[in-house]
Structures are given as C-alpha cells and as structure tokens.
Amino acid sequence: MPVTGTATQLCLGHVWLFEGLGPQDLQALIGAAVKKVYSPGQAIFAQADPADRMFLLKAGRVRLSKVLENGTEFTLDIRKAGDFLGENMLSGEGTYPVTAWCMEETFTCGFTKEKFEGLVLDHPAIGLRVMKNLSTRISSLSTRLESMSLTHLGARLYQVLRSMALEHGVKSQDGLVIEFPLTHEDLAFLVGAHRVSVTRALKELKKAGSVVRQKRHLLVRSA
C-alpha cells in the first residue's frame, strides 16, 4: 500500500475525533502525524506496553485482543478505517490494556504523547475539540449500552453481530458475511454475558435463520 502525498494530506481530515477543526489546526495535526504501514499479523502495540502513542486508522482493519492471567486470549473489538487506537494515551493510563493486531495491511497516522501535548499547547482549539468529540462519543456509547442492557440476550447478540457485519462484513445474496473467526468466548465479551449463555443464544439465532455458520465464517441475515 503506497503512502502517497494525497493519502498523507487526507490522513486526519475525516476522523470523528477531529471533526469540526479549522483548516489551520487540521494542517498542524497533519504536519505532526507520523505515517506508517503495517503488515498483516503485525502488532501496532502490545498489551502492557507504555500507552504513549495514539494511532488513527486511514486504511486496513485491526483486532483488539486481551490475554487474561490464565493465558486465554479474547477479541474485544475490531477497528476499521476512520477509527483510532491507543485512546488510553488521552486518559493518562500507564499501559495499553490490549494488543492491536493488524488483520490486513494497515496504514496509520500516529502521535506520540509528547508531540500531541505540544500541539494542544500551541493550538488550544485542538484540545477543546477533542474533548467535545470524545464527550459526544461517550454519551452515544452509554445510550447504546443502556438500550442493550434491557434487551433479551438473543436480540443483543444479533445486534452485535449485525453491527459488526455492517462495519466489516462482505455482501452476499443472503446477507452479510463476517469473514474472520469469532469464538464463543469473543462473543461473550462483546455482549457482556457468560459463554454458555451466548452459545445457547447463538443456537437460537441459527435455528431462526438469522445467523448461518459457513465453516469459520458467519452469515448475518437482515432482521
């Protein structure tokens, strides 16, 4: 994936975190960003690494996973172009709680903590805009979580799979196909339920025809 001049200039322009910034502040961000291409299977950062960098995804797809004390690894989220990674840097947390694995060739624009703090000092509007956009995002996520908490587990699981299919799936005649593997443990983390309950709910969705297993892939049909 060649990192062209055009790609560099557009690197941050449409990322929600920086929506609403003026041209001068946006240009300052573009000038300070470090651009890098990662290969499939490469880690952008690892769990327990110092949280001193933030990355905006311009292209590609990244899986966020966490390893528990017993060695079990779970997928917590999938990020795509337009999302950002390493938001822990903004909250002052010491280390990354997850590992970011590239699922395909991925192009990032990144900032070190020192560089970003310097930008905010020189361009206060950047800091204010980031705070407002983060607040809006958190409010939206909180509303979504409250809605999900009142929903039957089967419906909740379908909502999660449908959302993931819309973001990352491939269109087919019967619906959307999630082409990367998701274990029952992964799904349990994503919906906030026990693995056994998720297995039962997934069977119900398959029986209803809402979800179809295709080898290691899942086909999600419209409701």
CA 56 to chain centre: 10
Task: Give me the torsion for CA of 145, 149, 153, 154, rounded to 10°.
Answer: -60
The Cβ-side half-sphere exposure at 199, using a 13 Å CA radius, reads 6
CATH homologous superfamily of 5-147: Jelly Rolls (2.60.120.10)
The pLDDT value recorded for residue 101 is: 96
The pLDDT value recorded for residue 2 is: 43
**Residue ranges of the chain assigned to CATH 2.60.120.10:** 5-147
* β-strands 73-80, 175-178 pairing: unpaired
**Residue ranges of the chain assigned to CATH 1.10.10.10:** 151-220
pTM: 0.70
Which alpha helices (H) appear in the chain, and where do they start and end? 5-9, 23-32, 88-91, 113-122, 124-149, 153-168, 184-191, 195-208
Residue position matching structure tokens 């906030």:
192
The pLDDT value recorded for residue 223 is: 65
Q: What is the pLDDT along the chain (223 residues), one digit of tens a residue?
A: 444 444 444 556 567 778 888 888 888 888 888 889 999 999 999 999 999 999 988 889 999 999 988 888 888 888 888 888 988 888 777 899 999 999 999 999 888 988 888 999 999 998 888 888 877 777 666 655 665 565 688 888 898 898 888 888 889 988 999 988 788 888 887 887 888 999 999 999 999 999 998 888 899 998 6
- Do residues 207 and 193 touch, judged by C-beta distance below 8 A? no
The pLDDT value recorded for residue 87 is: 81
CATH class of the domain defined by 151-220:
mainly alpha
